[in-house]
Every structure is written in structure tokens, then in C-alpha cells.
Amino acid sequence: MQTSSHSVLVVDDSKINRRKMEKAAQVLGHATIAVENGADALAVLATERIDLVLLDIEMPVLDGFGVLAAMRDDVALVDIPVIVISAIEDMDSVVRAIELGAQDFLPKDFEKVLFAARVGSCLEQKRLMDLRADALAEIEAEKARVDALLGATLPAAAISELKETNQVRPKRHENVVVLFADVVGFTQFCDLNPPELAVSRLQGLINGFEQITADEGLEKIKTIGDAFMATAGLLQPIADPVQAAARCALQMVAAAPGLTQGWQVRVGIHVGPVIAGVIGQQQHLYDLWGDTVNTAARVTGVGTPSTVCITGDIHAHLNGRVTALGNVKVKGKAPLDVFQLEGLD
């Protein structure tokens, strides 16, 4: 077999005819594979890259019609062009072959010039179809990359709305549990250490928090500097948002030192209504607004390192052990009843 940019499969039960078609294809610079029946042809098509099939109709074992039908029904073969080359003069057979997917027809006593034209035309069609397939594959790959990027940026429900309406309109949601976690002494650590070290440890912490959040059915909303924000009961249903958020918070506090070589975190939790959505036209970020968000953020700073602080609204719906911290003054709000979560029942 010659080395060529195109591979031609010749299928004919006559050795003389096979040799004639092989020689005509090879003169045009194409590599050839020759078989004597349709079953052998399908075996070759299943294992070799074929650019064009020169196909006889009347053959033993499996005739040309059977080959065409099999190729039509196989997504991997349906785009390979076929030229039927047969001694049959019955126009009905030619029409049937075309209906089954053959691109062209030539008699076995073909003229070399006509053969070259028909072969060249089919191979050009194949080249254009391959280019189209490559372009479509690249589009699908790019779409998958965009979807992956969106999936890492926005919640699934927000992505669906964005694709359908080209926006994610802010909406009010009731009874949403908001969780904040921040690193104790992060600013001081950054002042005393290279930024690469600080960011590397912070990356390890956030990766761990993302896993804990996902395992408990919460949704990560965003990071703000060294703070991590998540919600329970916002966009995806969860059986007991308060209890799930409490479990998540206790795991975060316990896991943080191991994720960061000794860092400690504080966690705060509150529940209430929020406004959630995307604003602006560039660099979309799903965000939350409202007093519930502000309260959760303020409560986070009340506790000592490696503690979880919860509001009275959380405590009222929680099966857990707590230590009352009393009526605590937090920035920008009236005094709040705050509790330190010690464990869950």
C-alpha cells in the first residue's frame, strides 16, 4: 500500500475488477485496501480510517446494498462517501443505492478522466464534512469549557436562568441560612510571610471548605478575601438547613488547622430573608444582600478562635448544645442574643 493522504477501500468479488479500481485510485495518489465481499468491507471499516469506498453491488456473503444500509445506520461510518461501481444497468438499482447513501455511481468500464473527477469530488466533499465535524467538535468543546467556567462561578439554578433569559434577576428568598467563616489573624500572617505562602494556605483552606459545604448540601456563594460564605436552603432543597449549616460549621472549625498548618477560623450563622442574584453586565458574581447577610457576618467576629457563633434565630431551630454569650452588641445593629455552638445532639 502506498502512503497517501487518502485511503480508498475497494470492494468487489472480481479480482480483475478489484485490481482495475485499485490501480486507478493509486494512479491518483491514493492508498488502497481491497476486499471481495461486503462482510469483509464492514470489518475493514470498523478498524481502519477510510476516506472513500468504491463499492460493487452484486457480491456473495453481503452485497453492496447491505454495506450501504449498515453504513447508513452507523454514526461512525455514515459520513464516509461511497461510489457504487457496478455492471448493473438497471436504473432502479442505481436509485436504490443512492437512497441508501451512495454519493455517486460509475459503470465498471469507467473512463479514467471521469473516474478521477468523481473520486476527487467525493473526497473534496469528505474533506469539507471533516472540517465541519472538526468545527462542530471545537464548538462543543468550547461550550463545555464555558459551562465548566459558569459552573465554577454561579449556582446551577442561576446558570439555567442565565442561559434562558440572559440575566439572573435578583429575587427575595425566605428562611435562608447564611454561614460566614473567616481566618483568625490572616492580615498579620500576610504581613509576616510571603504572599505566595499565604495564598497557598488559603487555597487549601477554601478547597477543604468547598468539599465540606458540598457534602452537607450547602451552596458556596463566594469568598471575600479570607472569608468564606455559604448558604443552606437558598437554591437547592435541603431537609434541615439549620442543622446542615451547623454540622458544616463545626466541621470547618475542626478541619481548618489541618488544612492550613495551624490556622484557626471563626464561623457565624444566621437565618432569615435575603435578596439573591446577579447585578452588573460584566464579571458576573452571584451575591446576597440584606440584613440576614450583615448579621451573619457580624456574628462571625464575636467568637473566639475555633468557635461557631449562632444567633437566637438559629438556636430556636437547632438541636444542639450551646453556651449563651448574652446580649451582645455588634457593629451597626441593636444588641443580639448570641450563642456559642458546642456540639449537636
DSSP assignments along 182-243, one per residue: EETTHHHHHHHS-HHHHHHHHHHHHHHHHHHHHHTT-EEEEEETTEEEEEESSSS--S-HHH
Q: Is residue 160 part of a domain?
A: no
Residue with cell 434577576: 169
- What distance in Å separates the CA atoms of residue 26 and residue 4, rounded to the nearest whole number? 9
Strand, helix or coil at 340?
strand
Domain of residue 110: give its range: 7-144
pLDDT number for residue 88? 62
pLDDT number for residue 70? 97
- How far from 42 is each of 10, 21, 52, 106, 272, CA to CA, in Å? 12, 18, 13, 21, 66
132 and 202 belong to one structural domain = no
∠62-68-72 over CA atoms, to 5°? 130
pLDDT number for residue 3? 43
Q: Write the CB contacts of 201 (distance below 8 Å, at least 6 apart in sequence).
A: 259, 260, 261, 263
pLDDT number for residue 205? 96
If one counts every other C-beta atom within 10 angstroms of the C-beta of residue 113, the result is 8
- What is the distance in angstroms between the CA of the first residue and the CA of the last residue of the chain? 77
Q: Is residue 176 part of a domain?
A: yes
- What distance in Å separates the CA atoms of residue 343 and residue 111, rounded to the nearest whole number? 89
The one-letter amino acid code at 96 reads R
Q: Is residue 248 part of a domain?
A: yes
- What distance in Å separates the CA atoms of residue 117 and residue 123, rounded to the nearest whole number? 10
Which of the listed residues 88, 112, 144 is the one where a domain comes to its end? 144
- What distance in Å separates the CA atoms of residue 71 and residue 80, rounded to the nearest whole number? 8
Q: Is residue 150 part of a domain?
A: no
113 and 239 belong to one structural domain = no
Q: Is residue 296 part of a domain?
A: yes
pLDDT number for residue 124? 92
Which of the listed residues 96, 129, 144 is the one where a domain comes to its end? 144
Q: Is residue 153 part of a domain?
A: no
Q: Is residue 152 part of a domain?
A: no
Which of the listed residues 144, 179, 207 is the one where a domain comes to its end? 144
Entry field: residues in the chain: 345
Per-residue pLDDT of the chain (345 residues; tens, 9 = 90+): 344 579 999 999 999 999 999 999 999 999 999 999 999 999 999 999 999 999 999 999 999 999 999 999 999 999 999 999 877 667 788 889 999 999 999 988 899 999 999 999 999 988 888 898 899 989 998 988 888 877 777 777 778 887 888 777 889 999 999 999 999 999 999 999 999 999 999 999 999 999 999 999 999 999 999 999 999 999 888 999 999 999 999 999 999 999 998 999 999 999 999 999 888 777 778 899 999 999 999 999 998 999 999 999 999 999 889 999 999 888 877 889 999 999 998
Spatial contact of 323 and 339, defined as CB atoms under 8 Å apart:
yes
Q: Is residue 158 part of a domain?
A: no
200 and 134 belong to one structural domain = no
108 and 185 belong to one structural domain = no
The distance of Cα 200 from the centroid of its chain, to the nearest Å, equals: 26
Spatial contact of 332 and 298, defined as CB atoms under 8 Å apart:
yes
**CATH number of the domain to which 220 belongs:** 3.30.70.1230
Residue with cell 456563594: 221
- The grid cell for 153 is 462561578
177 and 319 belong to one structural domain = yes
Strand, helix or coil at 168?
coil
175 and 129 belong to one structural domain = no
107 and 209 belong to one structural domain = no
Domains in the chain: how many in total? 2
217 and 325 belong to one structural domain = yes
138 and 278 belong to one structural domain = no
pLDDT number for residue 86? 78
**CATH number of the domain to which 128 belongs:** 3.40.50.2300
195 and 248 belong to one structural domain = yes
243 and 190 belong to one structural domain = yes
> How much is the pTM?
0.64
179 and 251 belong to one structural domain = yes
pLDDT number for residue 264? 96
